[in-house]
Amino acid sequence: MHPDSTGGPVVSVPHVVFPPHSLAHQDLTAAIRAQYSPLLQQLPGNADYQFGFAHPARVALKMCGVLAIEEHPMHLPLPEITRRRGRATRNRQARQAWDAYAPLAAKQAMATAHIGPDDIGAVVTACSTITAMPSLARSLLTSAGLSRHAETITLAGEGCNGGAAALLRARDLVLAHGRPVLIVAGDYCSPWFFPEPDLRGDRLRGSIVSSALFADATAAAVMTPGPGPGAGFRIVDARSVCLPDTDSALGWDDRHHFFLTDAPKLVPAVLPAITSLLQDLGWDAASLDVCTLHSGGNAIIRAIARGLGLTDHQVAPAWQSLRRGNLMAAAVLHAMAIAAADPVLRPAPGGRGLLAGFGPGFAMSAAAWQFVDPSTASAGR
């Protein structure tokens, strides 16, 4: 039996909180270039060094300049970002960002959804840039004024797939228990910036590009068993997939150094799961009004659009989100907020869409949705 496209949990339009510092992309790339330029001048006659380090570094620095990013919201100012710090300091700075922004995003999301703190049955958080115990989800019970009896699920290590994965886990909880679930997704990359001169080849190239790709943000939304008084996205059905033998495609090494190698090339391998999801609903790519995709970078967005046959209009929220950098776990929720707020992109009630996040594994979480707006006369499909 196919899922009922007229029913299912509804997630409110997400609220996104950006930190106070904003760094122009050209200034960030200049800072990265300044970190690596002296290293490029070393060992000019050493062929191994030139092939393994200097050449991939120069290619990466050029790639940094063509990313479709205008600014990077950052928790830390540039002088602090480039200052040498230990792992404990970096983790503490990222945790300070969570403590500052996550409760604010959570409270604003509950207000948008017209849901009180005592109504929340569970909290699902997604963050891959903080190591914490007790968990980040448990910390929100106090900081966001939630019931101490609310269930908590903390997703860590999902990277850019975190927000979409959190939405899928929230859907499971709502379907199982029938109570509202609070979703909070945030990642903070500014504390983790540092050069990696010991890397070589593709790992070095990916590391440098990633330094110019990410930004900081926190997003929150509430998922309920049915529509509330405000607009939202009804989650009709969902899929997830993880490719075998792809752990080395992207992630953190044991020193918390980020690596990125073949991620864009792996996107086509997970797209059949989306095609299957749409086919099971009797949908296809052409029937989607707009998609709220993870803004992983130029190559990721283009690979998704090309692989699914999506138009520029359909993937516009991802490109708009990317103007502020790759927001990691918050990216998909940011794209949803963009689609709901932009009058050109906002679907009519019943309009169809697709959300998808991509991250370490190589993994993908995706869901088909229909737009809900009780303030407008219903329009079914």
Q: Around 367, how many Cα atoms within 13 Å sit in the side-chain half-sphere?
A: 28
Residue 183 counted as domain residue: no
How many folded domains does the chain comprise? 1
pLDDT of 2 reads 40
Residue 366 counted as domain residue: yes
Residue 15 counted as domain residue: no
Residue 381 counted as domain residue: no
* For residue 6, pLDDT beyond 60: no
First to last CA, the chain: 19
pLDDT of 257 reads 65
45-85 tens-digit pLDDT? 899 999 999 999 999 999 999 999 999 999 999 988 888 88
Residue 27 counted as domain residue: no
Residue 286 counted as domain residue: yes
- Answer yes or no: are the C-beta atoms of 74 and 190 closer than 8 Å: yes
**pTM higher than the cut 0.85:** yes
Question: Domain holding 259: CATH number?
Answer: 3.40.47.10
Choice between 271 and 259, residue whose per-residue pLDDT is larger? 271
Residue 197 counted as domain residue: no
196-233 tens-digit pLDDT? 788 888 888 888 888 899 999 999 999 999 998 999 99
Burial 2-37 (b: 16+ CB within 10 A, else e): eeebeebbbbbbbbbbbbebebebeebbebbbebbe
- Answer yes or no: are the C-beta atoms of 303 and 268 closer than 8 Å: yes
- Span 311-330, average pLDDT: 97
Residue 259 counted as domain residue: yes
Domain that holds residue 289: 229-372
- Please tell me whether residue 28 adopts helix, strand or coil conformation: helix
Question: With 0-12 CB in 10 A as exposed, 13-18 as middle and 19+ as buried, what is 282?
Answer: exposed
- Band of residue 377 on the pLDDT scale cut at 50, 70, 90: low
